[in-house]
Amino acid sequence: MKARTSARLIDRFASLRLLVVTGKGGVGKTAVTAALGQLLAAAGRTVLLMETDPRESLHRLLDLPPSGGEIVRAGNRLHLQNLQPRQVLDDLVGERVKLRPVARRVLASPVYQHFAEGAPGLKETALLGRALRLVEGHGPRGAARPDLVILDAPATGHGVALLQAPSLVADVITSGPIGRMARDIAGFIADPERTGVLAVTLAEEMPVSETLELIAALDRNMGRRPEAIVVNGLYPPPGPAAGPAGAAALRLLERRHAINAAQLERLAGSWDGPMARLPLLPIDRGPSLSGSLARRLRPQLEEPRP
Ligand SMILES: Nc1ncnc2c1ncn2[C@@H]1O[C@H](COP(=O)(O)OP(=O)(O)O)[C@@H](O)[C@H]1O
Ligand SMILES: [Mg+2]
């Protein structure tokens, strides 16, 4: 009898080239991205964490100074880069237009400015294209080629717009180098062997609603499902109270815990795929938070799945 291929989430993640971490702002995308990066690097993958939030925060979870756009080393096989999509698009123009003074003129021209900001999906396509080039080994000279890019996706809208950007651009620009590039990137994003999506949420009404919309839109528009949902920031079950202050705190905790339970149930009503749970920890943003989340995530990702 043939051995079944392993269905552990950690192996699935490790086999990908790009993992896009999506979710509403404030749910813990960045914290989960840092924790996952640490786990996958420890599992032997060379990982680049790519952050696009102009308010850099990933470095704090890894105990580093801000990366300022460069690829910086964050540990064994773990690297970090903060990239602004517009900058990536400008860089691309700079590379394609070989004569530097001409490139400068193009970048400064109102037509380009208008195009870069106005053409839907263009910046996002450039960003995803950067991830593709890095995993294909066309990164900056001297930089380690990542096996996997984990993209801490921007919080605006839900991640589906980002993921659909390349095919949108490819539909509009059908010929020439940009059209070809957009088609390659769209193929990369649509390929379940190479690209996966991870949804992070809190077990609260609004984030769960957004997560359910994300799942529906991914299915409708791309025929895809997230690899897993990470439910972050769960309140602990209420324990015994001591004194009147303790009783008030206990009621609050009971309430939050009950909301979590109800929203977990609501999520489970529409999602039968993998789900990992992470507690709300009494730890400030920093390496001990990402380390604690990684330790809690690990057994859940290593669990064999049917
Ligand atoms: N499980 C957790 N326990 C405690 N604090 C958390 C947890 N997850 C995230 N945080 C904190 O919550 C805030 C928002 O998390 P962050 O990862 O920045 O969210 P996002 O990237 O989705 O906006 C940060 O201050 C972070 O340190
Ligand atoms: Mg963030």
| Alpha helices (runs of H) in the chain, residue ranges in sequence order | 9-15, 29-42, 58-61, 85-96, 100-108, 110-118, 122-135, 160-172, 176-190, 205-222, 243-270, 287-302
pLDDT of res. 156: 64
| Spatial CA neighbour of 227 closest among 197, 195, 202 | 197
Distance separating alpha carbons of residues 65 and 3, to the nearest angstrom: 46
Q: Is the pLDDT reported for residue 201 higher than 70?
A: yes
**164 CB near ligand 1 (under 6 Å):** no
Q: Is the pLDDT reported for residue 305 higher than 90?
A: no
Q: What is the mean pLDDT of residues 167-185?
A: 90
Q: Is the pLDDT reported for residue 14 higher than 50?
A: yes
Q: What is the mean pLDDT of residues 115-120?
A: 80
Residue written as tokens 């799942």?
A: 215
Give 53 Cα–ligand 2 centroid separation in angstroms: 7
CA separation (Å) from 67 to 57, 63, 86, 234, 303?
10, 11, 17, 31, 34
**Residues at Cβ < 5 Å from ligand 2 ion:** 29-30
143 confidence band (pLDDT: 50, 70, 90): confident
**Identity of residue 173:** I
Q: What is the mean pLDDT of residues 257-281?
A: 97
| Spatial CA neighbour of 75 closest among 95, 45, 54 | 45
- Structure tokens given for 297: 């995530």
Give 153 Cα–ligand 2 centroid separation in angstroms: 8
Ligand 1 atom 15: the closest Cα is on which residue?
28
User: Could you count the other beta carbons within 10 Å of the beta carbon of residue 284?
Assistant: 8
> Does residue 26 form part of some domain?
yes
3 confidence band (pLDDT: 50, 70, 90): very low
**Identity of residue 47:** V
Q: What is the CATH number of the domain that holds 187?
A: 3.40.50.300
CA 302 to chain CA mean position, Å? 20
pLDDT of res. 215: 95
**207 CB near ligand 1 (under 6 Å):** no
Q: What is the mean pLDDT of residues 190-214?
A: 97
Rounded to the nearest 10 degrees, the angle between the axes of helix 160-172 and helix 205-222 is 30
> Does residue 214 form part of some domain?
no
- Structure tokens given for 83: 């990239």
Ligand 1 atom 17: the closest Cα is on which residue?
28
Give 28 Cα–ligand 1 centroid separation in angstroms: 4
pLDDT of res. 2: 45
Q: Is the pLDDT reported for residue 144 higher than 90?
A: no
Which range marks the domain in which residue 72 is found?
Answer: 9-198+278-302
Which ligand approaches the C-alpha of residue 154 most closely?
Answer: 2
> Does residue 253 form part of some domain?
no
Closest ligand 1 atom to 61 CA: 27
**296 CB near ligand 1 (under 6 Å):** no
DSSP character at residue 47: E
Residues 6+ apart with CB under 8 A from 270: 212, 215
SS3 195: strand
**Identity of residue 184:** D
67 confidence band (pLDDT: 50, 70, 90): confident
> Does residue 57 form part of some domain?
yes
Number of domains observed in the structure of the chain: 1
**132 CB near ligand 1 (under 6 Å):** no
Give 98 Cα–ligand 2 centroid separation in angstroms: 35
Which ligand approaches the C-alpha of residue 28 most closely?
Answer: 1
DSSP character at residue 62: T
Distance separating alpha carbons of residues 214 and 27, to the nearest angstrom: 14
The per-residue pLDDT for range 225-253, each reduced to its tens digit, is: 999 999 999 999 888 888 888 888 899 99
CB contact at 8 A, 16 and 48: no
**285 CB near ligand 1 (under 6 Å):** yes
Closest ligand 1 atom to 25 CA: 23
Q: What is the mean pLDDT of residues 79-87?
A: 91
55 confidence band (pLDDT: 50, 70, 90): confident
**159 CB near ligand 1 (under 6 Å):** no
> Does residue 226 form part of some domain?
no
**116 CB near ligand 1 (under 6 Å):** no
**85 CB near ligand 1 (under 6 Å):** no
Q: Is the pLDDT reported for residue 98 higher than 90?
A: no
> Does residue 180 form part of some domain?
yes
111 confidence band (pLDDT: 50, 70, 90): confident
Rounded to the nearest 10 degrees, the angle between the axes of helix 110-118 and helix 122-135 is 80
Residues 6+ apart with CB under 8 A from 145: 46, 134, 135, 137, 139
Distance separating alpha carbons of residues 20 and 36, to the nearest angstrom: 12
> Does residue 177 form part of some domain?
yes
Which ligand approaches the C-alpha of residue 32 most closely?
Answer: 1
CA separation (Å) from 117 to 31, 76, 94, 109, 285?
29, 37, 17, 12, 33
Closest ligand 1 atom to 57 CA: 18
- Give the predicted TM-score (pTM) of the model: 0.94
> Does residue 251 form part of some domain?
no
Residue 110's region, left for phi above 0, alpha for psi from -120 to 50, else beta, is alpha
The share of the chain scoring above pLDDT 90, in percent, equals: 69
